[in-house]
């Protein structure tokens, strides 16, 4: 389960009709680095946890390194990610993330399948599939990034 979802609801949400389920694999730090550099396209979904940890500068360094190695990197931004609407855009701008790689949720959701690697940094509710397919969830009906 997860916050606001009991184990029965989580199973139902994962198997909901109309949703494709992708495998999630745990990897070591070294394996993760290898995945990033082997990818052609990477999408990063930052959330409130990124803001709290204040790690946008380190994330910007990783993005710069990937781009230097010709990896296409985009950020998928939820309208309310961070502490208030627009907060994530400000944090990324402060870290000198190029504005042209920052994509709004409604512009990037349809393209998610084109990415080789997806990274969720400090986000939970804004990527939770229960928002779309679990009517018992307290966050049901909220738009989510479909990673």
Walk along the chain (147 residues) and give the pLDDT tens digit of each residue. Answer: 343 444 444 444 444 445 555 667 788 999 999 999 999 999 999 999 998 999 999 999 999 999 999 999 999 999 888 888 889 999 999 999 999 999 999 999 999 999 999 999 999 889 998 898 899 999 899 999 998
| Nearest by Cα to 50 from 109, 107, 126, 105 | 126
What's the distance, Cα to Cα, between the start and end of the chain in Å?
18
Q: How many residues does this entry show for the chain?
A: 147
- Tell me, what's the pLDDT at 2? 41
CA distance 64 to 3: 34
Angle value at C-alpha 76, between 80 and 71, nearest 5 degrees: 155
Looking at the annotation, which residues are catalytic? Answer: 125
- Residue 131 CB coordination number (10 Å): 20
- CA quadruple 41, 39, 33, 14: dihedral positive or negative? positive
CA distance 66 to 60: 10
User: Which of 55-83 are b and which e, b meaning 16 or more Cβ less than 10 Å from the residue's Cβ?
Assistant: bbeebbebbeebeeeebebbbbbbebbbe
Residue 45 pairs in a beta bridge with 120
């Amino acid at each position: 389960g997860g916050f606001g979802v009991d184990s029965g609801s989580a199973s139902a949400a994962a198997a909901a009709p109309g949703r494709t389920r992708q495998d999630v694999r745990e990897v070591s730090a070294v394996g993760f680095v290898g995945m990033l550099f082997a990818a052609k396209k990477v999408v990063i979904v930052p959330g409130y946890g990124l803001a709290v940890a204040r790690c946008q500068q380190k994330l910007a360094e990783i993005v710069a390194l990937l781009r230097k190695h010709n990896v296409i990197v985009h950020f998928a931004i939820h309208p309310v990610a961070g502490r208030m609407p627009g907060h994530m855009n400000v944090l990324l701008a402060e870290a000198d993330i190029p504005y042209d790689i920052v994509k709004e949720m409604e512009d990037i959701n349809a393209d998610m399948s084109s990415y080789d690697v997806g990274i969720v940094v400090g986000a939970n509710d804004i990527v939770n599939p229960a928002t779309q397919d679990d009517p018992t969830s307290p966050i049901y009906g909220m738009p989510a990034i479909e990673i």
